[in-house]
Structure 1
Amino acid sequence: MSSLSSPDTPNPLGLDSEAAARRIASAAAHSAAVKRRERMAQWHLLFIAIVVLGPLVIYPLVRLVMLSLTGAHGLSGEAYVTFFGNPETRGVIGTTLGILFASASLASLLGVAIASILFFKPFPGARLVTRFLELFVAFPSFLVAFTLIFLYGSQGSVSIALQRLFNLQAPPLNFLFGIGGVILAEVVFYTPFVVRPTLASFALLDQRLIEAARSLGANGLMVAFKVILPLAWPGIAAGTILCFLLTLNEFGILLVLGSAHLVTLPVAIYSAATVDLDLPTAAAGAVVMLLMSLSLYALYRRVNSRKVKGAGHGR
């Protein structure tokens, strides 16, 4: 007993208290550093909002909305009444939605098909094709329109070759300057925007599930629709919505290939602002188009967040 109460024996409780005090002090210092970083991040965000987003994004959008609400005697919804009251507006919106759904749907189906071939049925040169599709998204859209004119226009190389080959009196191809050419150009241009997110979604699949389905006797279609599609649909849906969003805001292809009878919402807004010099009506149309774009973008963010969460759960 005397050896246990000896003054030479260290006090474990005292050491534990000292270590606990150091841990508390370290935690407090860490918490203070985190709060300082959070305050600095808030100040940086405020600086970006005021210096960058303010003059480049927020101010133009506010001015656009205010211009659309400006009438002869102050604030007014006259511009929206003029825009929606125009008998041609319904036709313009119908044409815009028709081209949108035709182009984006075909581009989405083609993009998923190409991504499926590149991922599940790779061939010599498949990697090169993938890299080209990634590079293709950097091209301006009007360049694709001009390329199609040089190839498939009435005086394009393919049309002239067919005319000479079959001894025709006139060039056989004459469809580009209209709705057919616009849809073709948009499908060609926006298909790669679907291919990339679909490939990324396929890369996250658990290959063991696919092999298990095949070992149980499932054929290719059953594996595709019962296993692959349910697992990869968030990435496919995100790519499809992105394609719809970009197609909705397309202007270069419409400007090059659109005829005088093919007026879509972007073209109508451009004409109202530059030809008719009716800035309030043009601003009202721009606000309507902005709301449509923001709705698609919100849907894209929601689907993309599900994709990221699904990838996290998969890991």
Structure 2
Amino acid sequence: MKTLMKKRTVPRWLLLTLPLLFLALFYFYPLIKIVLVSFAPEGTWEPGRLQQLVSSDSYFRILRFTFWQAALSTLLTLLLALPGAFVFTRYRFPLKNLLQALMTVPFVLPTVVTAAAFQALLGPGGLVNDALMRLFDFDSPPVKLNQSAAFFLLAHIFYNYSLVLRIVSGYWARLDPHLKEAATMLGASPLRTFFKITLPLLIPPITSAALLVFIFCFTSFGVVLILGGPGCATIEVEIYRQSIQLFNLPMAAALSLIQICINFLLMLFHARLGRNSRIGFFSSTPGEAPDQARGLLQKSLLVTNLAFMVILLLTPLLALLLRSFLGEHGLTLAYYRALFTTPPGSVFFVPPVQAVLNSIGFAVLAMGMAVLLGLLASSYLACAENNKKNSTHFWDAIIMLPSPLPPLPLDSAISLP
């Protein structure tokens, strides 16, 4: 006799309902408003209104500069981070875990903090220029990076160096060491083994990291606006200029739509590549234990990369910290005491400490919601992947689409009537 009580399972698609509902309200609804304002600004369908964007040399130049700076930032980050990934994979050295944890800090810093850190280090009144002017009696700052593309390119490398290092080194450490041993037994030199076996296996994580870096640099706003100046306008900066300064909301919406479409295609490609190759930001158990650096060449490579990491990732933050203690007459705690006061005529509506507490409260609330929605979405994607569903890449890209996108495009859409 068959049992009357059967175990019922919840349909897997229900796991995705709440995350999709959240995205529909706070992402796709503003996106629909962007489409309507771009193609139907007066209530009637007018795709010809976007002809100005396509035919204008200025907007084409902005689009070209956005791709150019993102591609150059990606290339420079890869060239500088891949040797560091090799060092982290191959060698064992003191404080390795601590340095690996510290390298994650720049990736989560707000853009305004990063821009302020580089201004404090290399700006016209930064520590480097102050030191050089005092040592060599210069009349003007010798390092002139402010309001230039080189300045925000350096900040992009600062942001994304740890991203490339973590992804590539984590994947590199999991490569099967028996492949290298087999090549050595067959007479292949270490250099030939690297180019014939190791490098082809590293193409997926390198491509994945490059895509992420390109996406983050393509949508960069605060760093480009503060460090690059008006002469370095990207799509995101132009959206800000059109919506805030010129109040040309249809043009801002059109630019936002272009940026979102490009991001979706890149995220779709990244989702497919990442799932096929099992690429992640955090490494798992390594396949080959790292060894001590031996010989002058290995030690020089190790020391050079570690020194570069410290200079790139720590000196801007240390400069910002030191600047917070420097006043007109030397070291002071006045700026920290000012955090607890609101003097007359202050631009703050609340004391700065209260603003910090508000930020913490909002962050905790957002974290709780993000964890709940992320667990539901990840559970669905894991189930779909185990069942070999072809739609996994699509839903992964949909869920990850808001991640690299700064809030400015959606803010401009929400502000539309």
| Range of TM-score over shorter length | 0.7 to 0.9
Match of 1:65 in 2: 35
Question: Which residue identity does 1:202 align to in structure 2?
Answer: W
Q: CA separation in 2, counterparts of 1:119 and 1:48?
A: 37
Match of 1:249 in 2: 219
Q: CA separation in 1, counterparts of 2:53 and 2:207?
A: 33
Match of 2:9 in 1: 37
**Residues 79, 280 of structure 1: 8 Å contact kept:** no
Among 183, 189, 200, the residue aligned to 2:170: 200
Match of 2:267 in 1: 297
Which structure 2 residue ranges, 5 or more long, are not aligned?
Answer: 280-286, 288-417
Match of 1:108 in 2: 78
TM-score (norm 1): 0.82
1:214 CA drift (Å): 3.8
Q: CA separation in 1, counterparts of 2:31 and 2:72?
A: 30
Matched, 1:133 2:103: yes
Q: Which has the higher contact order (CA 8 A, sep 6+)?
A: 2
**Residues 190, 243 of structure 1: 8 Å contact kept:** yes
1:209 CA drift (Å): 1.8
Q: Residues 170, 221 of structure 1: CA spacing in aligned structure 2 closer, same or farther, 3 A cutoff? A: farther
Q: How do residues 91-240 of structure 1 correspond to structure 2 at under 5 angstroms?
A: 91-240=61-210
Question: Which residue identity does 2:225 align to in structure 1?
Answer: L
Question: Which residue identity does 1:283 align to in structure 2?
Answer: A
Question: Which residue identity does 1:170 align to in structure 2?
Answer: S
Match of 1:46 in 2: 17
- CA offsets 1:135-179 (integer angstroms, 9 cap, x no match): 332212332221111111121111111222223222210113211
Q: CA separation in 2, counterparts of 1:164 and 1:218?
A: 55
1:47 CA drift (Å): 4.4
Q: CA separation in 1, counterparts of 2:256 and 2:138?
A: 46
Matched, 1:86 2:66: no
SS in 1 for 2:246: coil
**Residues 78, 210 of structure 2: 8 Å contact kept:** yes
- CA offsets 1:92-151 (integer angstroms, 9 cap, x no match): 112111111111111122222211111113322222221111233221233222111111
1:215 CA drift (Å): 4.7
SS in 2 for 1:263: coil
SS in 2 for 1:74: coil
Q: CA separation in 1, counterparts of 2:101 and 2:258?
A: 37
Q: Select between 149-158 and 224-233 the one with higher mean Cα deviation.
A: 224-233
1:206 CA drift (Å): 0.8
Question: Which residue identity does 1:276 align to in structure 2?
Answer: L
Question: Aligned pairs, how many?
Answer: 281
Q: CA separation in 1, counterparts of 2:38 and 2:195?
A: 47
Q: CA separation in 1, counterparts of 2:278 and 2:266?
A: 18
1:213 CA drift (Å): 3.1
Match of 1:284 in 2: 254
Question: Which residue identity does 1:237 align to in structure 2?
Answer: T
SS in 2 for 1:71: coil
Q: Residues 208, 38 of structure 1: CA spacing in aligned structure 2 closer, same or farther, 3 A cutoff? A: same
1:73 CA drift (Å): 5.4
1:44 CA drift (Å): 4.6
- CA offsets 1:2-32 (integer angstroms, 9 cap, x no match): xxxxxxxxxxxxxxxxxxx7xxx58x97xx6
Among 259, 270, 278, the residue aligned to 1:308: 278
Q: CA separation in 1, counterparts of 2:13 and 2:120?
A: 52
Q: CA separation in 1, counterparts of 2:178 and 2:77?
A: 30
Match of 1:10 in 2: none
Q: Select between 80-89 and 241-250 the one with higher mean Cα deviation.
A: 80-89
Higher helix fraction: Structure 1 or Structure 2?
A: 1
Q: Select between 283-292 and 199-208 the one with higher mean Cα deviation.
A: 199-208
Match of 1:259 in 2: 229
Question: Which residue identity does 2:88 align to in structure 1?
Answer: L
Q: CA separation in 2, counterparts of 1:78 and 1:278?
A: 17
Q: CA separation in 2, counterparts of 1:216 and 1:145?
A: 52
1:82 CA drift (Å): 2.2
Question: Which residue identity does 1:83 align to in structure 2?
Answer: L
Q: Residues 256, 220 of structure 1: CA spacing in aligned structure 2 closer, same or farther, 3 A cutoff? A: farther
TM-score (norm 2): 0.63
Q: CA separation in 2, counterparts of 1:210 and 1:268?
A: 50
Q: Residues 166, 122 of structure 1: CA spacing in aligned structure 2 closer, same or farther, 3 A cutoff? A: farther
